[in-house]
Chain A
């Protein structure tokens, strides 16, 4: 779809006429609550989510039958109370054979007023990239700790990732509490330890609870073995954790990375009036932040071009005209002026977008076995824009022991590091802390196309 040489004026009145339906208010933004597991290998993540699904009675009969059969085959017994509940999510052959989780499994269930998307992530250090995948979209992270072992290096690494990604809710499940004789003192020691680590990493105050995934203590049912614990069960917590405040989300500055230009001349969907859509032109995308209303003034930022301002004249959602729309709705915007706008451009509430810059200070979670060295040429995918970039410096990597920045000549697999990037084109980037969707990017290998790192914009480096 070409976006240059506009030769027709957008006849918004005709388009409005042609759009089916009445004006409607904003599309909703609530709905799914996503949570991900994390923690060191064998701490019991898969067993815990299996227990949660089982005791919340959301596992269907034929799945339970298969589970009992497979549990029997793998030596778990298979009778009542001897199910290998990890098999509900460890769905790959290699996972069943080795008894570990390799990649994220997604499961869906409803409880109380919520619909949950659960991402059961691996603990093994080799598969940290998959845990980052699961955590990147999570509203809550459940970090498991084996009560016998306490906080391990991998626990710290996962907490570091969760802090980096700013997962809004953190739950610490001190698991295998059955194996330490339901010792309340030991639990309190681990809780204090983890609180120190969380504070050091700048995480939100975690909810800490004692559980036995194997026996079900405090997962769905309150345990009689832990009278010293008076807090919520895991399910109770999941049902009550705060979601992102909707009013606050709607009040954020509007951000809209343009995905495509919809200009159907000649290839109109059957049944639509060709005359009415002759001049139709709209910019399709999903709202990354905030709310937009018809009549709002917006700024358009294109890499390497001066900023322009215009007014939103229409918001279309597949033929339904909306008055307003809020993140994360997928819509198409019609604008008052004929501007050259293409994929990779950003439409934002007028006057709210920071200056674009080609220099970035960012944190990377390095996910590739090949190390990153200064001078490396990479691709950056930010919103809908992909640009070439060079790593001009590695400032350091996160020390998981005392949370400081260690000097580093390279970033190795699973390191969290701070780097300086020089982009081939200026992008309207913003700190991840302020705008999750406009502060995140991928680092891609220009040769084989693989994703090398999760990138988070730290703060604007003014050295341009």
Chain B
């Protein structure tokens, strides 16, 4: 997998009854149709959409779906990345190459800038995930975005499992899980009062395994760290963490070289790698299909803090 792969050639769907037309193909077709429907509805009904794009696999799949939804036109909105300043260099490189390849405008909301000029303070634990909310909300306001596409999936976390596909946020960016709008059939209602905005989650109903099967089917390029590679790592609260500029072992914690891959990609200071030999899409699919640990449980320190970590962040205006 290279970071500058050409536009993927989409395989031709197989005829029903032929070997390619399995149950999995049906599920992917249904999910793809639903996601494209949502992307088109939102673009048709909102004035200023944007898409959150981090270079992580879910946002890569979501952006790919957008290229499908608006083909042969260019994706008709800019992408927004909230950069914690602690991202993996190869993911940032992938992000930039993708944006360039698709001819998109990239807005970056930089947590580092906020820390440098004192608008935000570094947390004691060094984690920057919770710090993303303010730059995100400012970027929404500065650009006048009335809707943001997010790559959240309901199977990621039990608070996300509760969220609507179109989710209203008040003028402070807050989510009120106790007072969500009914969402009926596939009729999405994105009306909102001035100042409020909407988050739209077109891949809500995809699982981690669906994402990987679709990546295989569509031959979608990803940052290389999603595949097994050798890396210098150290153990930290039960997870393998890469050594790097923003991620150093504590005193006396040894570093070792291991074959690892990432199941999720986020802030280096709180994203863990898993030991893995899966260096191809097919092997990753086999691994994900038989895993005994959830995606976030395996890789996200921030969500282990409490049962409600994600809910609390979302209520504050997080993705």
Contact = CB atoms under 8 A, between A and B. Distances in A.
Q: Do A and B come from one complex?
A: yes
B29 A318 contact: no
Interface stretch (A36-44, A143-151, A445-453): A445-453
A264 B73 contact: yes
B182 A130 contact: yes
B191 A444 contact: yes
B102 A269 contact: yes
Contacts, number: 232
A108 B13 CA distance: 24
Contacts of B26: 28-31
Contacts of A117: 205
A28 to B, nearest CB: 4
A259 B27 contact: no
B121 interface: no
A268 B73 CA distance: 4
A93 B177 CA distance: 10
Interface in B171-212: 177-178, 180-187, 189, 191-193, 204-205, 207
A301 B194 CA distance: 33
Interface residues of B, number: 74
B52 interface: no
B292 A440 contact: no
A333 B29 CA distance: 18
A343 interface: yes
A444 B183 CA distance: 12
Interface stretch (A96-104, A175-183, A303-311, A396-404): A96-104
A205 interface: no
A330 interface: yes
B193 A91 contact: no
Interface string B4-19: 0011011011011000
Interface in A318-352: 318-320, 328-330, 332, 343
B37 interface: yes
Interface string A13-31: 0000010111011111111
Interface of B: 6-7, 9-10, 12-13, 15-16, 21, 23, 25-34, 36-37, 40-41, 43-44, 67-76, 101-103, 154-155, 157-159, 161-162, 164, 177-178, 180-187, 189, 191-193, 204-205, 207, 291-294, 297-298, 307-308, 311-312
Given A25-B16, A133-B164, 14 more contacts: A27-B29, A89-B158, A92-B159, A271-B7, A318-B10, A320-B13, A328-B33, A328-B34, A330-B69, A384-B44, A440-B185, A442-B189, A448-B191, A449-B189
Interface of A: 18, 20-22, 24-32, 60-63, 66, 70, 88-89, 91-94, 96, 102-108, 113, 115, 117, 129-130, 132-133, 136-137, 259-260, 262-264, 267-272, 277, 280, 284-286, 316-320, 328-330, 332, 343, 367, 381, 384, 436-437, 440-442, 444, 448-451, 454
